[in-house]
Amino acid sequence: MSRRRRQRGLTRDNAMYHAVGMRRRRLVILLVVVAVMATGSYTVAPYLRAASLIIRAASLGGRAEAIANAQAHSVEQRPKHVVPTRHGDVPAQFYIPDGTPDRTLLVMPGINSTGIDEPRVIDLATDLSGSGFRVMLMALPDLMHYRITPNATDVIEDAVAWMAAQPELAPDGRVGIAAVSFTGGLSISAAGRERVRDKVAFIVSLGGHGDLRRVMRYLATGEAPKVEGTAYDAPHDYGVAVILYGLADRGAVPIEQAPALRAAIETFLLASQLTVSNQEAADKTFAQAREMAETLPEPSRTYMRWVNDRAVSKLGPALVPHLDQLGADDPALSPELAPPPAAPVYLLHGNHDNIIPAAESVLLGNVLRAKGAEAHVLLSGLITHAQVNESATAMDALKLISFWAGILRR
């Protein structure tokens, strides 16, 4: 299909796209990538494709993007269809490159109410398809409703089984997975299940988690494991708002207050999502969330005021006593606790991620390797939560190209 690159202004709720959503910042990055792309030998073909993918994802513009677009496949976006799962039919959409696709990828966004219609995840699916993959884009219904549940992992398992059973999608009976934010960790848990262990070619987790309990505590308290080579950043307010949403009917407030509190939180989270595409609408929706807070009884009113004020230091500690109600110790939700996949796992993380700390990928990689799995970890200086790191080096660019080249060889 003809492509029109959408505006990618990264905002506070864009952690789900931190792994590939980059902007033009450093000439050194452009020079390194163009130099790699200028070499056309067979031995560097995966690096050429990886560089093309990164440039297109970054919207670098100019000659570099023109070269990258010339290297890319044209992509057809197919009509939406549904995938049957044990928890009901789930909408999905195919992105098909011209020529013969290398492999089919199941691509999934993280927590976002717009699911497969979100412009940035459409860009991600199109960029990956432009690199030669047939992509099936699917959002997990529970995550669209701001819930991280074992049902979500079941849906991933069922989707993989459905795709792998279709020869036109999986000639060798296997599919790849590329999942963003919390779906990254859930996908690794799903891929280790006996039913689909031999049906997964590889898993790419973009800013995913290893232990959901650890991440929830970080979002509520700011406490994160100290892992060599990782940075520390204070947690983002989006995460603690999602936690409050999940705890509203689990003791955080009187049960009769839960529906109205959740409606107010949904309004705030929708406003956060709107900042990507329509700031005027976002501002109006944030104002609506503030108005809704004033109609709530206590303690919901105070909690919602903290949400609107982005007062993580006040709201987080109030939620700590209730964190064990989230069921985050279920192996379906924490891949460190689950059987490891048989397929290679690629863990890519921005070193300044303040939704899911970069330490999660390091710790998960260690656990997977200890269990005998193949795990590759890259913490990238090019990737932060909100923008490209302006002090990133040529080596950062080369490492990111090499990482994606390894995936594209599969």
Domains and CATH numbers, the chain: 75-211+330-408 (3.40.50.1820), 215-224+230-326 (no CATH)
Residue 241 has pLDDT above 60, yes or no: yes
Q: What is the pLDDT of residue 390?
A: 44
With beta carbons less than 8 A apart as the criterion, state whether 207 and 16 touch: yes
Give the lowest-confidence range in 199-203, 204-208, 406-410. Answer: 406-410
pLDDT greater at residue 61 or residue 82: 82
Phi-psi region of 296 (alpha: psi -120 to 50; beta: other; left: phi over 0): beta
7-17 pLDDT per residue, tens: 333 333 343 34
Q: What is the pLDDT of residue 70?
A: 79
Q: What is the pLDDT of residue 35?
A: 55
pLDDT greater at residue 223 or residue 54: 223
391-407 pLDDT per residue, tens: 556 677 788 888 988 88
- Counting residues of the chain whose pLDDT is more than 90, the rounded percentage is 67
- CB neighbours of 27 closer than 8 A, spacing ≥ 6? none
- Tokens 């290893």 label which residue? 210
Local confidence band at 71 (pLDDT 50, 70, 90 cut-offs): confident
Q: Which phi and psi angles does 137 have, rounded to 5°?
A: -90, 125
Q: What DSSP string describes 273-314?
A: HHTTT-HHHHHHHHHHHHHHHHTSPTTHHHHHHHHHHT-HHH
Residues facing residue 380 across a β-bridge:
350
- Counting residues of the chain whose pLDDT is more than 70, the rounded percentage is 86
Residue 1 has pLDDT above 60, yes or no: no
Whole-prediction pTM: 0.89
